[in-house]
A and B are shown apart, each in its own frame.
Chain A
Amino acid sequence: MTERFDAIVIGAGHNGLVCATLLAKARKRVLVLEANEQVGGAAVTRDFAEGFSVSTCAHLLYQLQPAVSKELGIEPRLAANDLATIALDTSGQHVRLAGDDVSGVGGADRTSYREFRKRMTRFADLLNGHLNAAPPRLGTSDRKDIFKLAKLGFDIRRLGREEMQEFLRLIGMNIYDELDERFESDLLKGALALDAVLGTHLGPRSPNTLMTYLYRLAGNHGRLSVPEGGMGDLTGMLAQAARTAGATVRVAKPVRRIVVNNGRVTGVETEDGESFESLTVISNADPKRTVLELVGARHVETGFAQRINRLRASGNAAKLHLALEGLPAIKGLEDADYGQRLVIAPDEHYVERAFNPAKYGEYSPEPVAEITFPSVHDPSLAPDGKHVLSATLQYTPYSLRSGWDGGARTAFLERVMKTLALYMPDLEGQIVARELLTPVDIEREFHITGGHWHHVELSLDQFMFVRPVSGAAQYAMPLDGLYLCGAGTHPGGGVSGAPGRNAARTILSREKSR
């Protein structure tokens, strides 16, 4: 006798848990099935060396939507809040970005930066208003769709003539030109360029990077926090919320397939052969994995399968974890600043140059990096007096021409250490253990096709109305009973909870209207 549920959520990533909790709160009988031993998906804390643990993928929290914490009644425990970003300089003349202010640059840049922040946060707020709901369908006569579209138009108009013109001009632009027009400081431009391209297959010169920058600011204006106990603590809290709301969360239960009967979803089957029935299956997995592997292309129509199949979803970001005897010396960095977010992106050209090889399936010989020492805020992550370095590195294409399994991994790691050594000359000597997660490793460990942190590339042609693909941007897939709730859906990746929340709301409102 197989168990029946009102809804089954595949994957206990943060979005899956948010979605499950909201459904459970609406008195649905919800089952969450997680493939790994631990909940959290890619937002987990785990050991990577004896006594050392780290937030495996995402290590900074900045996008969690306030509506999500509110509706779920969770209060993330933060080890540190409002982190500054410090753009590292080899000679110690670092540039520091904190809130609306920047220091270490000329007066003109400071003023410009304030103006820039003001405009960008305003645009991000506009965008944010539309990230927290399913995007409208175009060309329908549904009043809700028309209202949403009208609201989008109205919101843009409401910016005022001049800001509206700027918005419509900037939205398709690249960050490089905007930075070039505004700023003098190379480090400042480098740091902002990095923000725009982190997690994407874009360089600062690529059009659309202003939009990806705005996306980063949406929600909390890019305010950075470090969750206590790592990202896994937050997802642990989400799992607890789900359980409290009545959902069943089961780990180490990888789903083998989504069962389709007579043209609709009827449940799932796990790798160990267990079956669960539900007429609503919500996948927190990426769209490719969900449709092509779990469901099978044969159960959907050709055009849809083809669109899913050609989604661009190859990750470029790698994660480096170092277990350290102690903090490395960084010239010109005050002790208190080791807890900030440190970036290696000396100028915008450097970032662009790092991107170039990624187009040809090669890694950056001089990578860009976003570095944190989470153990500075949270000693629980490392043995007494010891530390953890956690860094996001770009670009490391998933489809590396030579493959990641051969010598490429060691060779890349060498390049990384060389780059890091420019800023932390004594780093090598401090290392107790290290771990490099390339997109291939991320795919393997977290079952994200292509190891992309947005599941599918975040670019205007895969954004909003057409995310993940046209005709399926409202969480419901063209297969009755199947929904997506992961980063591959609107609005995209990052620990925001927005896709999960939007998906849950869509499912509940569809039920109501039925």
Chain B
Amino acid sequence: MNIIDTIFKFNGGIKADTKKSVSTVRPIKKIKMPKQLILPLRQHVGKVAKLKVNIGEKVLKGQLLAEADGNVSAAIHAPTSGTVASLEKQLIPHPSGLPDYCVTLIPDGKDTWVEKKPINWKKIDRKETIKKISESGIVGLGGATFPTHLKLNNNNEVKTLIVNAAECEPYITCDDMLMREKSAELIEGIRLALHLLGAQNAIIGIEDNKPEAIEKLALLIKNDANISIKIVPTIYPSGDAKRLIYLITGIQIAKGKRSTEYGMQMFNVATIIALYKFIHCGEPSITRIITITGKVRTPNNYEVLFGTPLSDLIIDAGGKASQNGSFIMGGPMMGYKLPSVNVPVTKAMNCVIDAEPEMIENNNPVLPCIRCAKCAEACPVNLQPQELFWFSQSNQFEKAENYNLFDCIECGCCSYVCPSNIPLVQYYRYAKSEIISDRYAKEEADIARERNDFRLERLQREKEERAKKIAERKANTSSDEKSKVIDEKRKAITEALERVKQEGVSEKND
């Protein structure tokens, strides 16, 4: 066993009241089968999954409902056995509050599994295994929902697997509870992930506020020289990938580079357990652990099927699933307000806070920026948030980009410390999405320009070819023949005109 103590502290970050203990007193709970499951077809980064079943079809638990469309996409499986009732636009957990396509599944209550196909990963080639994983629907369960098979399949040689167990955001405890209750699966999963990555050693990066989980994991890896634990201090946002890598290894990942270029790859604990379940048990990604906390009477962690209505969980935890409630998905720092409590649980949903309205509505007056630079001190990415704010609020996007707007991880530390209560991150998100849509428009314009250029070129070519043909024919036919041909043509045209006229008359008469 290895517990490493030396850490490399990053600049900034905040120490907030974590409010985690309320939801860790009870074990992970399951609720009874909901009346219906609503499965959005886009629960991941990348292309929308393609529906593979018909409406009205009976499906078994774990059966493929929608397959990945291309490489950057993820499949969706039936979380239980039942009937596919519909495919329609429904409200999904998305900051826009706009509906998106969802499959509705009515459970039959039998929960019958499709034939499970565990994979003997030690026997077959690892490329083969990774290919199978691309059909598993597993995405990063820390909240980023990036398809996992893409992270396993990379061209760089990976030496170290970093297991992200930091869970730095306040309120969220789903990874903590998962590590306490499924530590054996996690360690097995880490061994599996090491094999798939071709990596030698794994480091579990965990915040010091999870002593129980650390103890359990330490016991399991006592005799394993390849897996070590690194305890990091509880400073938000230690769970951000680049921050955690720096905390553990002291290596800073440069702008625009990936951690794999430095021989490292990172997975969240929940993702590793999902991998374990898929390979060892043949179970695709159909459940996750979610923290329900905040105002509810009994804050708790639940193991839920994807598609479970959030309102069922809120009611079970002793909360009010009312439309007027304020529910935050994710943590208080990076999360967003859900459009309604009537949304399904998705792959990205790690935590829902039944929040006091004050937590969302910024009731403190927003005052002008006094350039105190507290935000710059708090920024864990070493950006200049006050400058970014200035450029974003005045729509000077190019300048904002020059100040590395896209390196901002939207952790919210700047907004948290701002004495003027400026919602800084909201400005950055606004600026980022404006820039991204501009880029997209530019790409589209470039395609249109290219197509227009090609069309003009084609028209020009056709014109030239026609001119050439006419010239050739002119040269070939003598003037006598020519006049004959022209006469014939004229005759044909007048005949045709007569015909059209007559037809037109008869049509009018009709």
Does A associate with B in a complex? Answer: no
